């Protein structure tokens, strides 16, 4: 079943809907010397940045702290929203309590309550693309340099 | 709905079923200086290696050729099979024709027929993990150093 390619505006609405409602996101990171990593994590979105939390000593935690670069995927392989972002690292006690409570409610776990040392990672989108299949490869760029194009 | 954690043997069967039948896989790579990349690609599986194809000049194509390292994800965020592999790069005319035909039939596109220069990438799994939710984090390791553990 094929539909017409979506407009950029529609893809932005679809992407923002996912940011507001999905629970998990694919998180791709890399070590400073080029070893890729990929893992699904739960996230929250406040309209400006994604918030994730993972152990400071995990591959993702170490990579994000070292490079501050991440590439994320929402959705599934034939209906994706790809997000490249700039990462800010926060110690686990450095986030306002209500923000942490909101994350815990959405994610279903509270990284502040665990024995393993976790950190928060704020991810600010700089580039966003969205496409379903080949017919949507044109106009897949929705955000560039942190600014929405539609 | 929760079920009991699957055995390693069951997770291996589930992972091999996906390798044999899924069409798309998440491909995480990195540049030599630590810029992560992530994209869904179609793949084929011959029982030993995954075969993907992407333009030689694309971020994934450049990263895989430079680092020979990749991390793959099959499935969705609450039911994943993660694969770390060693990459072999083949020029587009270096694969036996029937192997390319088989890829084209499964993937729905033939990279040998395109104007953009593509390459083949053979990915040999070295480490495989599979889990659904937190209760499956123990025993998630299914392959280590290229050998199945179950």
The residues with which A128 forms a beta bridge, in sequence order, are A83, A143
The Cα–Cα gap between A56 and A36 comes to 17
Is A38's CB within 8 Å of B35's CB? Answer: no
Interface list for chain B against chain A, based on CB atoms closer than 8 Å: 24-26, 28-40, 63, 66-67, 69-73, 76-78, 80, 82, 109, 134
Pick the residue from chain B with its C-alpha nearest to A76.
Answer: B76
DSSP category for residue B5: P
Q: What is the pLDDT along chain A (150 residues), one digit of tens a residue?
A: 457 899 999 999 999 999 999 999 999 999 999 999 999 999 999 999 999 999 999 999 999 999 999 999 999 999 999 999 999 999 999 999 999 999 999 999 999 999 999 999 999 999 999 999 989 999 999 999 999 998
Cα(A118)–Cα(A61) distance, integer angstroms: 8
Interface test mutation site (partner A, options B77, B121, B134, B136, max chain A beta carbons within 10 A): B77
Q: Do B31 and A34 touch (CB under 8 A)?
A: yes
**B4 in helix, strand or coil?**
coil
pTM of the entire structure? 0.96
């Amino acid at each position: 079943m094929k539909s017409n390619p979506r407009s950029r505006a529609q893809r932005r609405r679809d992407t923002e809907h996912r940011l507001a409602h999905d629970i998990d996101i694919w998180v791709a990171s890399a070590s400073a010397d080029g070893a890729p990593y990929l893992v699904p994590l739960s996230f929250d979105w406040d309209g400006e940045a994604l918030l994730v939390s993972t152990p400071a000593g995990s591959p993702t935690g170490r990579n994000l702290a070292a490079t501050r670069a991440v590439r994320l995927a929402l959705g599934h392989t034939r209906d994706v929203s790809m997000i490249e972002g700039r990462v800010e690292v926060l110690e686990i006690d450095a986030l306002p309590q209500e923000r942490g409570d909101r994350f815990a409610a959405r994610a279903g776990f509270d990284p502040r309550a665990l024995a393993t040392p976790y950190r928060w990672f704020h991810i600010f989108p700089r580039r966003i693309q969205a496409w379903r299949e080949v017919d949507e490869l044109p106009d897949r760029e929705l955000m560039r340099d942190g600014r929405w194009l539609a």
